[in-house]
Structure 1
Amino acid sequence: MRKPRRALRLGRENAAVLMSDVMRVERLVGKVLDPVSLEFVDSFALVFEGRGKVQAYDGQYEQSSEAGGGNYVSSRSYVHFPVGVGPFEQGDRVTVVSAGDDPSRVGDVFLLEAATGKTLATAQRLPVTRVEAVT
Protein backbone atom coordinates (compact mmCIF):
# COMPACT_ATOMS: atom_id res chain seq x y z
CA MET A 1 0.00 0.00 0.00
CA ARG A 2 3.02 2.28 0.27
CA LYS A 3 3.46 2.79 -3.49
CA PRO A 4 -0.12 3.97 -4.17
CA ARG A 5 0.09 6.40 -1.21
CA ARG A 6 3.41 7.74 -2.47
CA ALA A 7 2.04 8.11 -5.99
CA LEU A 8 -1.00 9.96 -4.63
CA ARG A 9 1.17 12.30 -2.57
CA LEU A 10 3.40 13.04 -5.58
CA GLY A 11 0.35 13.57 -7.80
CA ARG A 12 -1.09 16.08 -5.34
CA GLU A 13 2.24 17.90 -5.07
CA ASN A 14 2.55 18.07 -8.87
CA ALA A 15 -1.04 19.31 -9.26
CA ALA A 16 -0.47 22.00 -6.62
CA VAL A 17 2.62 23.30 -8.47
CA LEU A 18 0.36 24.26 -11.39
CA MET A 19 -2.06 26.16 -9.13
CA SER A 20 -0.38 29.52 -9.58
CA ASP A 21 -3.46 31.72 -9.13
CA VAL A 22 -4.92 33.01 -5.89
CA MET A 23 -8.64 32.28 -5.73
CA ARG A 24 -11.25 33.50 -3.25
CA VAL A 25 -14.33 31.35 -2.61
CA GLU A 26 -17.29 32.99 -0.87
CA ARG A 27 -20.75 31.78 0.12
CA LEU A 28 -23.90 33.92 0.06
CA VAL A 29 -25.19 34.13 3.63
CA GLY A 30 -27.92 36.74 3.31
CA LYS A 31 -28.58 40.41 2.74
CA VAL A 32 -27.42 43.48 4.65
CA LEU A 33 -28.47 47.10 4.44
CA ASP A 34 -25.93 49.26 2.63
CA PRO A 35 -25.58 52.40 4.78
CA VAL A 36 -24.84 54.62 1.75
CA SER A 37 -27.42 53.47 -0.78
CA LEU A 38 -29.94 52.26 1.83
CA GLU A 39 -30.52 49.20 -0.35
CA PHE A 40 -30.16 45.58 0.67
CA VAL A 41 -27.05 43.99 -0.85
CA ASP A 42 -25.72 40.43 -0.82
CA SER A 43 -23.53 39.43 2.12
CA PHE A 44 -20.85 36.76 1.66
CA ALA A 45 -18.79 34.62 4.04
CA LEU A 46 -15.23 33.63 3.13
CA VAL A 47 -14.91 29.87 2.55
CA PHE A 48 -11.36 29.71 1.19
CA GLU A 49 -8.65 31.97 -0.18
CA GLY A 50 -5.50 30.45 -1.58
CA ARG A 51 -3.93 28.53 -4.44
CA GLY A 52 -5.99 27.39 -7.39
CA LYS A 53 -6.35 27.65 -11.13
CA VAL A 54 -8.96 28.00 -13.85
CA GLN A 55 -9.06 25.33 -16.53
CA ALA A 56 -11.18 25.45 -19.69
CA TYR A 57 -11.81 22.20 -21.51
CA ASP A 58 -12.07 23.32 -25.13
CA GLY A 59 -13.52 20.84 -27.56
CA GLN A 60 -14.45 18.00 -25.26
CA TYR A 61 -17.43 19.82 -23.75
CA GLU A 62 -17.78 22.54 -26.36
CA GLN A 63 -21.26 23.31 -27.64
CA SER A 64 -22.10 25.37 -30.68
CA SER A 65 -25.54 26.93 -30.82
CA GLU A 66 -27.49 29.26 -33.02
CA ALA A 67 -29.49 32.07 -31.46
CA GLY A 68 -30.90 35.28 -32.88
CA GLY A 69 -29.40 34.64 -36.29
CA GLY A 70 -25.87 34.21 -34.96
CA ASN A 71 -23.71 31.38 -33.71
CA TYR A 72 -22.04 31.22 -30.35
CA VAL A 73 -19.81 28.66 -28.68
CA SER A 74 -19.75 27.83 -25.01
CA SER A 75 -17.23 25.61 -23.28
CA ARG A 76 -17.08 24.16 -19.82
CA SER A 77 -14.65 25.59 -17.30
CA TYR A 78 -13.37 24.15 -14.05
CA VAL A 79 -11.55 25.54 -11.05
CA HIS A 80 -8.90 23.40 -9.41
CA PHE A 81 -8.08 23.53 -5.69
CA PRO A 82 -5.81 21.47 -3.46
CA VAL A 83 -7.38 18.41 -1.89
CA GLY A 84 -8.62 19.11 1.62
CA VAL A 85 -9.56 22.79 1.32
CA GLY A 86 -13.16 23.92 1.53
CA PRO A 87 -15.70 22.41 1.91
CA PHE A 88 -17.38 23.91 -1.13
CA GLU A 89 -21.06 24.03 -2.06
CA GLN A 90 -23.03 24.52 -5.24
CA GLY A 91 -23.54 28.25 -5.79
CA ASP A 92 -20.32 29.38 -4.08
CA ARG A 93 -18.76 32.41 -5.79
CA VAL A 94 -15.15 32.01 -7.00
CA THR A 95 -13.09 35.11 -7.78
CA VAL A 96 -9.59 35.18 -9.31
CA VAL A 97 -7.66 37.46 -6.93
CA SER A 98 -4.27 37.24 -8.64
CA ALA A 99 -2.95 35.37 -11.64
CA GLY A 100 0.77 35.79 -12.16
CA ASP A 101 0.85 33.82 -15.40
CA ASP A 102 -2.19 35.54 -16.96
CA PRO A 103 -3.03 38.89 -15.32
CA SER A 104 -6.05 39.32 -17.62
CA ARG A 105 -7.88 36.72 -15.50
CA VAL A 106 -7.77 38.86 -12.34
CA GLY A 107 -11.32 39.76 -11.37
CA ASP A 108 -12.96 36.87 -13.23
CA VAL A 109 -15.94 35.58 -11.24
CA PHE A 110 -17.48 32.12 -11.48
CA LEU A 111 -20.31 30.27 -9.77
CA LEU A 112 -19.69 26.73 -8.61
CA GLU A 113 -22.04 24.35 -10.44
CA ALA A 114 -21.35 21.34 -8.22
CA ALA A 115 -19.08 20.33 -5.37
CA THR A 116 -18.13 16.85 -6.46
CA GLY A 117 -15.21 14.74 -5.40
CA LYS A 118 -13.63 11.36 -5.92
CA THR A 119 -11.47 8.84 -4.16
CA LEU A 120 -7.71 9.28 -4.57
CA ALA A 121 -8.01 12.69 -6.23
CA THR A 122 -4.86 14.69 -6.93
CA ALA A 123 -6.89 17.94 -6.93
CA GLN A 124 -10.45 19.13 -6.48
CA ARG A 125 -11.72 19.86 -10.00
CA LEU A 126 -15.04 21.65 -9.79
CA PRO A 127 -17.28 22.77 -12.70
CA VAL A 128 -18.06 26.49 -12.84
CA THR A 129 -19.93 29.05 -14.91
CA ARG A 130 -18.40 32.47 -15.56
CA VAL A 131 -20.77 35.18 -14.41
CA GLU A 132 -18.89 38.48 -14.56
CA ALA A 133 -15.54 40.15 -14.58
CA VAL A 134 -14.69 42.65 -11.86
CA THR A 135 -12.02 45.22 -12.65
Structure 2
Amino acid sequence: MSLAAAALLARGRRAAEALMVDACTIRRRTGETTDPDTGVITPTYQQLYAGRCRVQQPTAQATAQDPGQAHVLMLRLEVQLPMSVTGLAVDDEVLITASAHDPDLPGRVFLVRDLAHKTHATARRVQVQERTS
Protein backbone atom coordinates (compact mmCIF):
# COMPACT_ATOMS: atom_id res chain seq x y z
CA MET A 1 0.00 0.00 0.00
CA SER A 2 1.34 3.42 -0.87
CA LEU A 3 2.11 5.93 1.85
CA ALA A 4 -0.73 8.16 0.65
CA ALA A 5 -3.23 5.29 0.82
CA ALA A 6 -1.98 4.26 4.27
CA ALA A 7 -2.31 7.84 5.52
CA LEU A 8 -5.83 8.13 4.08
CA LEU A 9 -6.85 4.82 5.71
CA ALA A 10 -5.41 5.91 9.07
CA ARG A 11 -7.36 9.19 8.84
CA GLY A 12 -10.55 7.27 8.00
CA ARG A 13 -10.04 4.97 10.99
CA ARG A 14 -9.55 7.92 13.33
CA ALA A 15 -12.75 9.50 12.00
CA ALA A 16 -14.69 6.23 12.42
CA GLU A 17 -13.43 5.82 15.99
CA ALA A 18 -14.43 9.41 16.80
CA LEU A 19 -18.05 8.35 16.17
CA MET A 20 -17.75 5.38 18.53
CA VAL A 21 -19.23 7.11 21.57
CA ASP A 22 -20.76 4.01 23.16
CA ALA A 23 -18.94 1.31 25.14
CA CYS A 24 -19.23 -2.46 25.09
CA THR A 25 -17.74 -5.65 26.43
CA ILE A 26 -17.37 -8.66 24.16
CA ARG A 27 -17.09 -12.08 25.72
CA ARG A 28 -17.04 -15.72 24.66
CA ARG A 29 -18.73 -18.49 26.59
CA THR A 30 -16.09 -20.97 27.75
CA GLY A 31 -18.14 -23.39 29.80
CA GLU A 32 -20.19 -23.45 32.97
CA THR A 33 -19.92 -24.04 36.68
CA THR A 34 -22.42 -25.69 38.98
CA ASP A 35 -22.98 -24.50 42.53
CA PRO A 36 -22.58 -27.66 44.65
CA ASP A 37 -25.11 -26.44 47.24
CA THR A 38 -27.92 -25.18 45.00
CA GLY A 39 -27.25 -26.98 41.72
CA VAL A 40 -27.53 -23.66 39.86
CA ILE A 41 -25.57 -23.71 36.61
CA THR A 42 -23.74 -20.49 35.74
CA PRO A 43 -22.02 -19.90 32.38
CA THR A 44 -18.34 -18.92 32.39
CA TYR A 45 -16.87 -16.41 29.92
CA GLN A 46 -13.59 -15.13 28.54
CA GLN A 47 -13.51 -11.36 27.95
CA LEU A 48 -12.27 -10.56 24.44
CA TYR A 49 -12.67 -6.77 24.35
CA ALA A 50 -13.86 -3.85 26.44
CA GLY A 51 -13.96 -0.38 24.97
CA ARG A 52 -15.57 1.95 22.51
CA CYS A 53 -18.16 0.96 19.93
CA ARG A 54 -21.00 2.30 17.84
CA VAL A 55 -24.38 0.61 17.40
CA GLN A 56 -26.22 1.01 14.10
CA GLN A 57 -29.53 -0.43 12.94
CA PRO A 58 -29.61 -0.68 9.15
CA THR A 59 -33.31 -1.67 9.16
CA ALA A 60 -35.93 -1.62 11.88
CA GLN A 61 -37.47 -4.90 10.79
CA ALA A 62 -37.39 -7.85 13.19
CA THR A 63 -37.57 -11.46 12.08
CA ALA A 64 -40.21 -13.65 13.70
CA GLN A 65 -39.18 -17.13 14.80
CA ASP A 66 -41.23 -19.78 16.55
CA PRO A 67 -38.97 -22.15 18.51
CA GLY A 68 -41.26 -24.67 20.16
CA GLN A 69 -44.33 -22.82 21.37
CA ALA A 70 -42.62 -19.47 21.96
CA HIS A 71 -42.91 -16.56 19.54
CA VAL A 72 -39.57 -14.74 19.39
CA LEU A 73 -38.59 -11.61 17.45
CA MET A 74 -34.95 -11.38 16.38
CA LEU A 75 -33.61 -7.89 15.66
CA ARG A 76 -30.52 -7.42 13.46
CA LEU A 77 -28.06 -4.62 14.21
CA GLU A 78 -24.47 -3.70 13.43
CA VAL A 79 -21.82 -3.01 16.06
CA GLN A 80 -18.84 -1.03 14.82
CA LEU A 81 -15.52 -1.51 16.60
CA PRO A 82 -11.95 -0.26 16.19
CA MET A 83 -9.96 -2.28 13.64
CA SER A 84 -7.63 -3.36 16.43
CA VAL A 85 -10.38 -5.69 17.73
CA THR A 86 -9.57 -9.13 16.32
CA GLY A 87 -10.41 -12.76 16.93
CA LEU A 88 -14.19 -12.43 17.17
CA ALA A 89 -16.39 -15.42 16.33
CA VAL A 90 -20.04 -16.20 15.71
CA ASP A 91 -21.96 -16.54 19.02
CA ASP A 92 -19.68 -14.16 20.95
CA GLU A 93 -21.77 -11.85 23.16
CA VAL A 94 -21.68 -8.06 22.91
CA LEU A 95 -22.89 -6.33 26.08
CA ILE A 96 -23.47 -2.59 25.69
CA THR A 97 -22.14 -0.97 28.87
CA ALA A 98 -22.64 2.74 28.07
CA SER A 99 -24.24 4.94 25.44
CA ALA A 100 -23.76 8.65 24.93
CA HIS A 101 -27.05 9.23 23.12
CA ASP A 102 -29.42 6.27 23.63
CA PRO A 103 -30.38 5.50 27.24
CA ASP A 104 -32.04 2.23 26.10
CA LEU A 105 -28.77 0.68 24.86
CA PRO A 106 -26.85 -0.03 28.10
CA GLY A 107 -27.55 -3.53 29.35
CA ARG A 108 -28.56 -4.93 25.96
CA VAL A 109 -26.87 -8.15 24.91
CA PHE A 110 -26.33 -9.00 21.26
CA LEU A 111 -25.01 -12.22 19.70
CA VAL A 112 -22.47 -12.01 16.89
CA ARG A 113 -24.01 -13.52 13.75
CA ASP A 114 -21.82 -12.34 10.85
CA LEU A 115 -18.25 -11.09 10.56
CA ALA A 116 -17.06 -8.84 7.74
CA HIS A 117 -13.51 -8.51 6.48
CA LYS A 118 -12.05 -6.17 3.88
CA THR A 119 -8.74 -4.62 2.96
CA HIS A 120 -9.46 -0.93 3.44
CA ALA A 121 -11.96 -1.02 6.33
CA THR A 122 -12.18 2.00 8.61
CA ALA A 123 -14.04 0.05 11.33
CA ARG A 124 -14.69 -3.59 12.23
CA ARG A 125 -18.37 -4.04 11.40
CA VAL A 126 -20.00 -6.97 13.17
CA GLN A 127 -23.56 -8.06 12.43
CA VAL A 128 -25.36 -8.97 15.64
CA GLN A 129 -28.79 -10.16 16.65
CA GLU A 130 -30.93 -9.29 19.65
CA ARG A 131 -33.81 -11.35 20.96
CA THR A 132 -36.59 -8.81 21.48
CA SER A 133 -39.36 -10.94 22.96
- Match of 1:113, SS state, is strand
Task: Indicate how the Cα distance of structure 1 residues 47 and 63 shifts in structure 2: closer, same or farther if over 3 A, else same.
Answer: closer
Cα distance change of structure 1 residues 79 and 35 upon mapping to structure 2, 3 Å threshold = farther
Alignment partner of 1:117 is 2:113:
no
- Calculate the aligned-residue CA RMSD, in Å: 2.5
Tell me the residue number matched to 2:21. 20
SS in structure 2 of the partner of residue 15 of structure 1 = helix
* Deviation for aligned residue 1:87: 1.5
CA separation in 2, counterparts of 1:104 and 1:36? 36
Query: Against the structure 1 CA distance between its residues 109 and 116, is the aligned structure 2 distance closer, same or farther, given a 3 Å change threshold?
Result: same
- Tell me the number of residue pairs that the alignment of Structure 1 and Structure 2 aligns: 125
* TM-score in terms of structure 2 length: 0.82
* Equivalent pair of 1:109/1:132 in contact (CA under 8 Å): no
In structure 1, the residue matched to 2:86 is 86
Residues 36 and 9 of structure 1: is their aligned pair in 2 closer, same or farther, counting only changes over 3 Å? Answer: farther
Q: Percent identity?
A: 27
- 1:132 and 1:35 mapped to 2: Cα distance? 33
Offset from partner CA, 1:2-34 (integer Å, 9 cap, x none): 211111001000000010111000100001113
Following superposition, the deviation at residue 63 of structure 1 comes to 6.9
Counterpart of 1:131, as a letter, is R
The residue type equivalent to 1:11 in the other structure is G
Closer, same or farther: CA 31–17 of 1 in aligned 2, 3 Å: same
In 2: Cα distance, 1:51 partner to 1:64 partner = 28
**C-alpha distance after superposition, 1:73-96 (max 9, x if no partner):** 976311000002132111000010
Point out 4+ residue stretches in structure 1 off by more than 6 angstroms: none
- Map 1:47-62; keep pairs closer than 5 Å: 47-58=48-59, 62=61
In the TM superposition, residue 64 of structure 1 has moved relative to its aligned partner by 7.7
2-side partners of 1:22 and 1:128: how far apart? 15
Is 1:46 aligned to 2:68, yes or no? no
Name the SS for the 2:83 alignment partner: coil
TM-score (norm: length of structure 1): 0.81
The residue type paired with residue 107 of structure 1 is G
Q: Report the secondary structure of 2:8's partner residue.
A: helix
Q: Secondary structure at the match of 2:115?
A: coil
- Structure 2 stretches of 5 or more lacking a match? 67-72
SS of equivalent residue, structure 1 residue 130: strand
Residue pair 1:21, 1:98 contacting (<8 A) in 2 also: yes
